[in-house]
Amino acid sequence: MVRAAVLPAVGSPLEITGVVLPEPGPGQVRVRLAAAGVCHSDLSLSNGTMRVPVPAVLGHEGAGTVVSVGEGVTHVAPGDGVVLNWAPSCGACHYCVIGEVWLCADALTGAGRVHAVAEDGRELHPGLNVAAFAEETVVPATCVLPAPDGVSLEDAALLGCAVLTGWGAVHHSARVGEGESVVVFGVGGVGLATLQAARIAGAGPIVAVDVSPEKEALARAAGATDFVLASGTTAKDVRRLTGGRGADVAVECVGRAATIRTAWDSTRRGGRTTVVGIGGKDQEVTFHALELFHWGRTLSGCVYGNSDPARDLPVLAEHIRAGRLDPGALVTERITLDGIPGAFDNMLAGKGGRALVVFPRQEA
């Protein structure tokens, strides 16, 4: 039996409880977690913004060590460090065939399977496929990628969502070029990764926007050249910092209608707005037809950073080894499983960057 954070029902508090995992079957891998990031998507699952079968073990951003493998698994072996991939591509659907693996039609089908059994007998599902809020997990082999050499497992855990998403928002979705101005809305874990990615892309100026003045130091350390405290004049403030025109690129990492609209208003004529944040169905954003014509801006969604983990992890690892990218700088709190509910509260209050669950080291 291992300890895990279980969502018993949508809107209910998480329970830290014991769960019984099966041995890995054909095409499965058992992983002992080293670390797992607490992402806003986990909060969205708990409050029903995103729907998955419940009860479920949450957590989708993690890394650890392979304990055992099932029949047919050859790309990893016991003792290997691995990064969990919560959105594996099937390789056969329309989106995978055309190379847009982040839109795979079958990526989340695994969330419907029975993953484990709670100590009270309830059957549990694996949240976003990988159930990383647990001391150990059993996942399909497609959900594990070898951890990059020279990258700690704590840093590797953050590659599984926050860093891939922020990197991809800049380099794949918005395609930020050297010298372009960028504004990032929301200085949480993904926002901090986005700021680092914009710095690596050679963007400038790089403006960070947040409701919390305490985020300024974090933002500047990640690469922001300017910080704007969110207010009714945010768009004007961004234009003032970007030659009076507005930013070439805005990246919205919050998922609220008002913030998306402000991000749009903060971009220049012909600029690009990329929405990374996950909002609810009640978050409606409106535009009138004339402004769409006049401003000539592009508004696009961004799923998982439009990333292909198999392609992008080696690139990110090289930036880490060269000292250009620092996943650890996203982390503002290291916690145990019992600290996850408090991390949810901090996210709701807009506090901090990434909370990282760090699991006790065990002998293999």
Residue 86 and residue 192 in one domain: no
Residue 82 and residue 210 in one domain: no
| Cβ-Cβ contacts under 8 Å for 322 (sequence gap 6 or more) | none
Which among 361, 279, 329 is positioned nearest to 43, based on CA atoms?
279
| Cβ-Cβ contacts under 8 Å for 318 (sequence gap 6 or more) | none
Residue 364's pLDDT is: 43
Residue 8 and residue 141 in one domain: yes
**Residue 166 is inside which H or E element, if any?**
helix 164-168
Give the pLDDT confidence of 180-211 residue by residue, as tens digits: 999 999 999 999 999 999 999 999 999 999 99
CA distance 252 to 269: 17
The CATH code of the domain that includes 78 is 3.90.180.10
Give the pLDDT confidence of 76-105 residue by residue, as tens digits: 999 999 999 999 999 999 999 999 999 999
Give the pLDDT confidence of 320-359 residue by residue, as tens digits: 999 999 999 999 999 999 999 999 999 888 888 999 999 9
Find how far residue 352's CA is from the centre of its chain: 15
For the chain, the average pLDDT equals: 95
User: How large is the average pLDDT for residues 200-228?
Assistant: 97
- The arrangement of strands across the sheet holding 123-124 comes to 56-57, 2-7, 15-20, 116-118, 123-124
Domain assignment present for 183: yes
Residue 132 and residue 170 in one domain: no
Percent of the chain with pLDDT over 90: 90
Residue 137 and residue 11 in one domain: yes
User: How large is the average pLDDT for residues 147-174?
Assistant: 96
Domain assignment present for 308: no
Residue 74 and residue 22 in one domain: yes
Residue 239 and residue 127 in one domain: no
Domain boundary pick from 272, 303, 334: 303
Domain assignment present for 319: no
Domain boundary pick from 272, 288, 303: 303
pTM: 0.94
**DSSP assignment, residue 183?**
E
Domain assignment present for 154: no
Residue 129 and residue 186 in one domain: no
Domain assignment present for 316: no
CA distances from 39 to 57, 279, 346 (A): 14, 14, 11
Domain assignment present for 348: yes
The three state secondary structure string of 15-71 is EEEEEECCCCCCCEEEEEEEEEEECHHHHHHHHCCCCCCCCEECCCEEEEEEEEECC
Residue 139 and residue 169 in one domain: no
Which two tokens mark 161? 């969502």
Give me the number of domains the chain comprises: 2
Which among 213, 214, 238, 236 is positioned nearest to 226, based on CA atoms?
238
Q: β-strand 206-210 against 182-185: which pairing, if any? A: parallel
Residue 88 and residue 18 in one domain: yes
Domain assignment present for 315: no
Residue 6 and residue 142 in one domain: yes
| Cβ-Cβ contacts under 8 Å for 86 (sequence gap 6 or more) | 60, 61, 128, 129, 130, 132, 143, 160, 161
Residue 6 and residue 143 in one domain: yes
Domain assignment present for 321: no
CA distance 358 to 19: 19
Residue 236: domain span: 163-303
User: How large is the average pLDDT for residues 138-149?
Assistant: 96
Give the pLDDT confidence of 45-82 residue by residue, as tens digits: 888 888 889 999 999 999 999 999 999 999 999 999 99
The CATH code of the domain that includes 194 is 3.40.50.720
Residue 362's pLDDT is: 59
